[in-house]
Structure formats: structure tokens, C-alpha cells
Amino acid sequence: MTQLHDNAVLIQSLIERVKAGQGKELQTLLKDLRSAAGDVLQDYDGIIGTMGERDEISKLLAKAMALPVDAYGQQLRDLCNQISGEVANLEYQSLMSIAGMPKLVIPDTDKIIRLLDNTPMSVRNWRGQLLLDPFIKDWETVTLTAANNAVLRAWNEGQTIQQLTTALRGTKKLNGADGIIGQYVQNADAIARTAIQHTSSVASEAFFAANGDVIEKVQFVATLDNKTTVICRSLDGTVYLINVGPRPPMHLRCRSKIVPVLADSALNDILTEGETRASANGYVPSSETYYQWLERQPDDYQDNAIGKTRATLLRDGGLSAEKFAALQLDKNFEPLTLDQMRQLAPEAFNRAGI
């Protein structure tokens, strides 16, 4: 029998493939931005002698680089629109493959796209816009600002045009990765992965909401490996009403997902009985949360995953995995520092000797 978590893993793996597929687009973006900067700066020599020349170079760079930057931003948004309907269809096929599943409906793609336009991201520690279009636009603006700042710095410090060119385009040896443009293309990768994950969450929840008589709640599911962040580790396994609570992406490059919890408890119990979920070292029971799984890992793996002090607290503090998870975040789902955790659970810290 096809299981809920297995289906969710399959959908997420397809989403990760879509993210990885952006690599070609990003290589094109890097090439086009480096060429744009090179084409502008090749007409200059020596140092930037005047404020007028400085402003002229800045204006020309902004105009030349805006074309590939805008093109990539539009391509990313078009991709999000496209996959929104595909994710809803995947969720539909996933559940309809289960014997005994009641009739389900797929929401109209245009409706999902409208939700995508107006549903804020749950990303924490992000100082920019949370709606999808402004989120992508923030990257575009910051990228062009970085190029302008490089010109201002070159003029102020008396750098040569060649030094400015290298600062922007990076070195040939590293294929531009060490330049300002390369850095912001790497940022574009993070923006793309986050935007795609947000699209997946919005589309999945739109499908769940359209079938609220069958799907009662959603469960937050994180990836069981040592790359998972504290916020997703701590939310793993938590259950919320539809359109209530935190949703992936909780941070840039988030890989967590929501899975449906069926209103028919009998059918839900049948589906989850004996069900497994993937982890970094094999399949484990689907009911096992991140910290329950981590408790069973070797000490050095725990140390690497969450840091030696927290790992010592997990091993020796006398806290259950559930209580340990609850100790990691505040009411706004922001990670607590060790000092804040100590104030909440001093006995556990004393017991662990930390």
C-alpha cells in the first residue's frame, strides 16, 4: 500500500530535482552578468578620475546588468507559476493512489497562483519582503546595488579599472566564483530554492484546503540528516490545522515539507501503521521525530549535527526528545540561545554538567 510519508518524500525529491535544475540557468546568469560588466568596463582605462566618470560607469553597469538580472527573475517566477499546478496534481495523484480514499478535487491553477501572489513566506531571519514577487525583486535590487557599491569603492580607493573588473567578474581560474557577481549568483541559487519550496508549500496546502472534508490537518516533516537547521529539527512531527502555524520554507534553502493528516482517523491509522520515512542512514518509523532519531545516532554524529553542548544536553540532560525539541524555539519559532535554554531548564543543564 502506498503510504503518506513515502508519497511526500517522492514529491519532495521531485521538487529538489527542480531546484537542482536551476544550475544551468544560474550558469547562464553568471556568464551573462560577467559579459555585461566586461563589455562596459572595457571602454575605460586607468583609474576613475572624476565623479562624473564614476556616475557614468555606475549607470552603464546598472543598465547592462539589469537585463540578465530581470530575465532570471522573470524565469524563476514563471517556473513557480508552472510548478504550482503540477504540485497540486502530484498531491492529488498521491492520495488517490491509496485504496479507500474518498473522491478528491484539484483546485484551479489560477487560484493557486493567486494564493502564491498573496501568501507570505514563513522564512525567519529574513529582513526583506516575504511575498514571492518582492522576495525575488529584493535579490535583483541587492545585486545591482552591489555592482554600484563596487564602483563607488573603486573610485574612493583609487583602484584601477582592471581591479574593478576583477572585483566584479572574479578570476578566470575560479570561473568568476570569487567575484562580486559570482557571490550574488550564489545568492540567486538560495533565492530560487526558497521560492520553489514556498511554491510547493502553497500549492500543497491549496490542495489540502480544497479537500478539507478529507484532509483535516498537516504535519511538518523535516529531513533526517545533519544539515537540517535547528528550527526545522524542532518543528519536525508537529501537527497544525490547515492554514494555521509555520510552513516551509522556514529559512533559505529549506527542504522541509508538509504532509496531510486525514480526517478519517481509521484510514489514517491504517496508512501510518508500519510506515517508514527516509533518514541519512536508512529508513525509520514514520512517527519518529528528528530528535528521537538523533538520540539513536553516535555521539560524534550528534555533536556534528547540533553542536557538542546541545548534544551533551540531549544525551545527559534527562530530557525527552519532545521536551528537548520544545526547548529549542521561542513562541515565534525563533531559535533560543544556550543561555536562554539554561534559564528555562537549569536542572537539565546541571544534570548534563554544562
Same domain, 229 and 160: no
Same domain, 236 and 210: no
Q: What is the pLDDT of residues 140-162, one digit of tens each?
A: 999 999 999 999 999 999 999 99
Q: What is the pLDDT of residues 75-84, one digit of tens each?
A: 999 999 999 9
Same domain, 105 and 155: yes
Q: Which residue, of 218, 234, 266, is where some domain finishes?
A: 218
Same domain, 117 and 85: yes
Same domain, 46 and 173: yes
Name which of 151-155, 234-238, 269-273 the model is least confident about. Answer: 269-273
Same domain, 44 and 29: yes
Domain that holds residue 302: 223-352
Cell of 87: 504540485
pTM of the model: 0.89
The percent of residues in the chain predicted with pLDDT above 70, rounded, is 96
pLDDT (0 to 100) of residue 286: 78
Q: Which residue, of 196, 218, 240, is where some domain finishes?
A: 218
pLDDT (0 to 100) of residue 97: 84
pLDDT surpassing 80 at residue 6: no
pLDDT surpassing 50 at residue 2: no
Same domain, 205 and 232: no
Same domain, 192 and 71: yes
Same domain, 21 and 113: yes
The percent of residues in the chain predicted with pLDDT above 90, rounded, is 83
pLDDT surpassing 80 at residue 9: no
Q: What is the pLDDT of residues 312-328, one digit of tens each?
A: 999 999 999 999 999 99
What is the number of structural domains in the chain? 2
